[in-house]
Amino acid sequence: AEKEFKVEVEAIGRVRHKNLVRLLGYCAEGAHRMLVYEYVDNGNLEQWLHGDVGPCSPLTWEIRMNIVLGTAKGLTYLHEGLEPKVVHRDIKSSNILLDKQWNPKVSDFGLAKLLGSERSYVTTRVMGTFGYVAPEYASTGMLNERSDVYSFGILLMELISGRNPVDYSRPQGEVNLVEWLKAMVTNRNSEGVLDPRLPEKPSSRALKRALLVALRCVDPNAQKRPKMGHVIHMLEADDFPFRDDRRAGRENMRSLRDGLKDRLTDKPVNESGDSSGYESGAHTNRSIWRKQESEEP
C-alpha cells in the first residue's frame, strides 16, 4: 500500500494545470501520510457557499459559472490529458480552492487513483464524501472517471441552489439535493432551485443550460454521463439545447415512456444509505427541452 501511495503521489506531483492545486511534496511514515500543496489565498468554495462570510454571498452567477468551468477544465486534464488518467475520487465544494480572482483550483489528491488505458475501472475500497459519491461506486467499489463526473454534477447543483448535497435540517423531500432538484425541474419550477442569496438571477437560458448539464452528470447510468471534455462543450456551446442531445432524446423517448412511471416510483437505497434510484435524466431533460422548444419562434 505504501509503494502504491508513493507511485500515485509522485505521478500527481508532476501534474501542471492552472485549475489544479500544485502538489509540492509528501511525507509517509508508517500509517501516517502528509501532502503539501501550494497556498491558495481565498479559502474554499464550501466556505463561500455555506460558511459565515457576511449577510450575503458575494458569489454572483457569473463567478459561480466561472468556478464550474474552471473545475471542469481541471478534471478534463486529469481524465483526458494524462496517461495514466487520474480519478480524483473526492470532488466536493471544500476541495475547490479559490484565488483572489475567484479562479478555482481542484485540491486534495489524497484519495486519487491512477487508471491506465488498459483498464476501464479499478476496484477499491469506497472512499469519498457522503452526498457526492456516485451510486454505482458506493454499491460496488468499481471506480472510474465517471464517478468524478457524478460528483461534479452534485457540485454544480450545489452552486446553482446554494444547498448542501444532503441536509437533514430541511423538510422531507428536500433532504437530498438531487431528488429535490429533479422534482423541481420536472414540475417546471426551475427558478425555484436558485440560491436566494444570488445578487441577480441568471437568464432563463443560462439556468436551463446549467441544470441540463448537472442532470446529465448525475445520470444513474454511469455510461450515459458525459465525459468532462464534453461537459466543457456543453457549458460553452452556442447551440443550446444541444442538438445531438435533443436528437438522441427524441429517438429514445418512445421507449422511455413505457415503464417510466414504474421506474420513478422505485428508489432503492445503496449500502451507504444514499438514494440511488434516481429517475432517468432523460425524463427530466425532456421537460427542459419541451419548454425551451415551445419558447422558440
pLDDT value of position 283: 44
pLDDT value of position 292: 45
Residue 280 located in a structural domain: yes
* Dist. CA 198–CA 57, nearest whole Å: 7
* Dist. CA 263–CA 250, nearest whole Å: 19
Question: Cell 448535497 appears where?
Answer: 165
Residue 95 located in a structural domain: yes
Average confidence score pLDDT of the chain? 83
The answer, yes or no, to whether residue 259 has pLDDT greater than 60, is no
From 187-196, 217-226, 247-256, the region with the lowest mean pLDDT = 247-256
pLDDT for 275-289, tens place per residue?
Answer: 333 333 444 454 444
Cis-peptide, bond into residue 135, ω within 30° of zero: no
The answer, yes or no, to whether residue 106 has pLDDT greater than 50, is yes
Number of compact structural domains in the chain = 1
Average pLDDT of the segment spanning 95-101: 95
Residue 37 located in a structural domain: no
- Rounded to the nearest 5°, which phi and psi values hold at 85? -70, 160
* Coil, strand or helix at 139: helix
Catalytic residue from among 90, 108, 219, 245: 90
The answer to whether 81 and 112 have CB atoms below 8 angstroms apart is: no
C-alpha cell at 254: 418512445
Which residue range(s) make up the domain with 206? 43-295
> Count of residues for the chain?
297
The answer, yes or no, to whether residue 266 has pLDDT greater than 70, is no
* Helix H or strand E segment including 159: helix 145-161
Residue 223 located in a structural domain: yes
CB-side exposure of 235: number of CA atoms within 13 Å?
Answer: 23
Catalytic residue check, 266: no
C-alpha cell at 56: 450575503
CATH of the domain at 190: 1.10.510.10
* Dist. CA 187–CA 189, nearest whole Å: 6
14 confidence band (pLDDT: 50, 70, 90): confident
